[in-house]
Amino acid sequence: MPVKVIAIDDDPAMTELLALLLKTHGFEVGTANMGEDGIRIIRETSPDVVILDLMMPEMDGWKVCAEVRKFSNVPILIFSALDNPGMVASALDNGADDYIVKPVSSGVLVARLNKLTRRSEINPKPQVQPQAAATPA
């Protein structure tokens, strides 16, 4: 069964590139170009791992990570152009499981995803909690 990955980045070219690259390595890939859409997809599909950019308009990666942590322990790999040790530490302290600075070789990206999925197989993730349906007014 292929590993399900959700890539969330505001740059459609980046999500398309990630999808193309990861599919050639046997991953099942879904993408979102807005934080809100990414959260919805994570709730609906229960991926094995999430690739998340930090710098996005409207809802940035920090907020997406915080929202996802409210309902899921899915491994989150931050994939960002921000190369600042303080930012890396902050992302990891706030719920991310790993951090990679763009650009990165495909081999390193795949190895990090494999590491995260192996770790989650050892410590199985709890089921994603369904979002409560809104009641009509």
- Residue 134 inside a domain? The answer is no
Domain that holds residue 78: 4-122
Token digits of residue 118? 């192996």
Q: What pTM did the predictor assign?
A: 0.86
Mean of the per-residue pLDDT values of the chain: 88
For residues 8 and 56, give the distance between their C-alpha atoms in angstroms, rounded to a whole number: 9
Q: Of 136 and 90, which is predicted with more confidence? A: 90
Look up the CATH number of the domain holding residue 117.
Answer: 3.40.50.2300
- Residue 128 inside a domain? The answer is no
Number of residues written out for the chain: 137
pLDDT number for residue 127: 39
SS3 35: helix
| pLDDT reading at 124 higher than 60 | no
Model pLDDT for residues 57-116, shown as the tens digit of each residue: 999 999 999 999 999 999 999 999 989 999 899 899 889 999 999 999 999 999 999 999
| pLDDT reading at 130 higher than 90 | no
Number of folded domains in the chain?
Answer: 1
pLDDT number for residue 120: 66
pLDDT number for residue 129: 41
pLDDT number for residue 121: 64
- Residue 46 inside a domain? The answer is yes
Q: E strands within 16-110?
A: 28-32, 49-52, 76-80, 98-101
1 falls in which pLDDT band (50, 70, 90)? confident
